Amino acid sequence: MIEIKNITKEYQTKHNTIIGVDNVSMSIRQGEIYGIVGYSGAGKSTLLRCLNLLEQPTSGTISIDGQILTNLSAKQVRKARQKIGMIFQNFHLVSAKTVYENVEFALKAANTPVQDREKRVLDLLNMVGLEQHKDHYPAQLSGGQKQRVGVARALANNPHVLLCDEATSALDPTTTRSILKLLQKINQELGITIVLITHEMEVVKEICHRVAVMQDGKVVEEGQVYDIFANPQNALTTSFIESVLQFSLPDKITKGREGVIVKLQFKGDVAEEAIVSDMLQSFLVKGNILHGKIEYIQDTPLGIFVMELTGEPEDVQQAMNYLQNRLLKLEVLHDAA
Ligand SMILES: Nc1ncnc2c1ncn2[C@@H]1O[C@H](COP(=O)(O)OP(=O)(O)OP(=O)(O)O)[C@@H](O)[C@H]1O
């Protein structure tokens, strides 16, 4: 369990004080994949760097598995850091070392006995699918392969926590998916807690259990990924969600319509078709479906569709009340003309 309490990080420049992280608190549970999303400058990297004490917070405390990191001596910090692996956007591999040597380097740094190293490196390379490439140099690898070396190196000393700093931002969509699958496998099979920062909500949707949205150094929204996608509260979160769901209707579809246009959202286990057909049978309204899609978030479907409801205003209102009580969400996009 990672407990972040009232962390603030300020940077003093010649003329002023810049606040990188502003009084952030969060609890990250053992074994979860926790995403921190925000645009550039939101404070994500600063917060992540505070987690392994690459940055010393100005105030606040961080504890991992009950050990308060912010109180440790330099020697204790070095030891604690071995239990916190990290991977980076630009991989940070040593170009003059082979794949094997890059991973072995982490073991040497932790004083792992020589006789234990070879098996450990080969096991790690096997886990990330790179055993065939052990004698290659970073320049001979693709971006995805380089990140796999980064993952193997980060796991070398059996960390309890893996921090991922925009780990897929330099990769194409297919490679991104394969690295995210690898992180998911590590989380599931080894039980390692993963904290990842990203500016892409798609990454959060793919693998995170919970997410915090950051803006101007603060957390503006936090919750289970499904709940955040189904019902974002903050304007920034909504814009992140929209970038993934891409649910915009062309003007020409809504223009000139007489009825009320509603957007309906339903959770996977709701038999939405039955609800909509019951509604059409129970009220004197006509329904015309304009658009629909189902997204899978954490393997749970989130259905969204847009309908035009026509009829007498009071009948339409009653039909909408009926739907509102049975579906996840109903939003009026356009009132009747
Ligand atoms: N060493 C530093 N000195 C001064 N200001 C800094 C320093 N590091 C970060 N900042 C400032 O702190 C704020 C948060 O930066 P941070 O890099 O944590 O944001 P971010 O969300 O990770 O964005 P990015 O993805 O661009 O790195 C920004 O205003 C940034 O300019």
Decide: 323 and 262 in contact? Cβ < 8 Å.
yes
Q: Which CA distances in Å does 37 have to 139, 157, 224, 267?
A: 30, 27, 13, 24
Strands 285-297 and 300-311: antiparallel
Mutate to test the pocket of ligand 1, among 7, 16, 18 (most ligand atoms within 8 A of CB): 18
Please state which of the ranges 30-34, 119-123, 277-281 shows the lowest mean pLDDT. 277-281
Q: Residues 220, 234: contact at Cβ < 8 Å?
A: yes
Q: Which phi and psi (to 5°) does residue 54 adopt?
A: -70, -25
Closest Cα to atom 24 of ligand 1: 40
pLDDT tens string 174-224:
999 999 999 999 999 999 999 999 999 999 999 999 999 999 999 999 999
Amino acid 166 reads: E
Q: Is the pLDDT of residue 250 over 80?
A: no
Quick one: the chain helix, strand, coil %, rounded to 5? 40, 30, 30
Gyration radius of the chain over CA positions: 24
Using alpha carbons, list the distances in angstroms from residue 182 to 1, 56, 186.
22, 31, 6
> What interface predicted TM-score (ipTM) does this complex get?
0.96
Tell me how far the alpha carbon of residue 44 lies from the centroid of ligand 1, in angstroms: 8
Taking only the tens place, the pLDDT of each residue in 289-307 is 888 888 888 888 888 888 9
CA distances from 159 to 97, 151, 162, 291 (A): 23, 11, 7, 46
pTM, rounded to two decimals: 0.89
CA distances from 332 to 25, 242, 316 (A): 36, 17, 12
Q: Is the CB of 89 under 6 A from ligand 1?
A: no
C-alpha 34 – ligand 1 centre gap (Å) = 20
- H/E run at residue 301: strand 300-311
**In whole angstroms, what is the distance from residue 37 CA to residue 197 CA?**
6
